[in-house]
């Protein structure tokens, strides 16, 4: 029996992503996909965070962050880095972090 690999990815989203409920929608989408992690606003006007879970769900989340976001957001660029396999998840839920 093969268990699907779990991966962890850091992300930063550029564009009009603050003041448009981006964090709330990101949290909801992450939970819907069964991912764990966090999301927060940055002083630079971007949104950043990390998510972890099964690789196919992480890919879906990456696509969502690149192309969908919250209804009023305008995503210019989505950067993903530090992707790595993880044996266990570092988070128990998907939370909004206040900087």
CATH number of the domain bearing residue 43? 3.30.70.100
Give catalytic status of residue 56 as yes or no. no
Contact (Cβ atoms closer than 8 angstroms) between residue 15 and residue 79: no
Alpha-carbon distance 82 to 88, whole Å?
16
Is residue 1 a part of any domain in this protein?
no
pLDDT digits (tens, 9 = 90+) for 14-51: 999 999 999 999 999 999 999 999 999 999 999 999 99
**Do 62 and 9 form a contact (C-beta atoms < 8 A)?**
yes
Q: 50-61 b/e with 16+ CB inside 10 Å = b?
A: bbbbbeebbebb
- Looking at the structure of the chain, the number of domains it has is 1
Q: Does the active-site annotation cover 23?
A: yes
Where in the sequence is the domain holding 28, given as residue range(s)? Answer: 6-96
> What percent of the chain shows pLDDT beyond 90?
94
pLDDT digits (tens, 9 = 90+) for 72-96: 999 999 999 999 999 999 999 999 9
Catalytic-labelled residue, pool 16, 23, 59, 82:
23
The pTM assigned to this predicted structure is 0.94
């Amino acid at each position: 029996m093969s268990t699907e690999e779990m991966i962890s990815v850091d992300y930063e989203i550029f564009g009009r992503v603050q003041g448009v409920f981006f964090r709330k929608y990101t949290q909801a989408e992450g939970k819907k996909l069964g991912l764990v992690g966090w999301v927060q606003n940055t002083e630079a006007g971007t949104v950043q965070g990390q998510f972890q879970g099964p690789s196919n769900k992480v890919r879906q989340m990456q696509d969502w962050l690149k192309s969908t976001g919250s209804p009023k957001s305008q995503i210019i660029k989505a950067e993903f880095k530090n992707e790595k396999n993880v044996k266990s998840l570092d988070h128990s839920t998907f939370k909004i972090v206040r900087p």
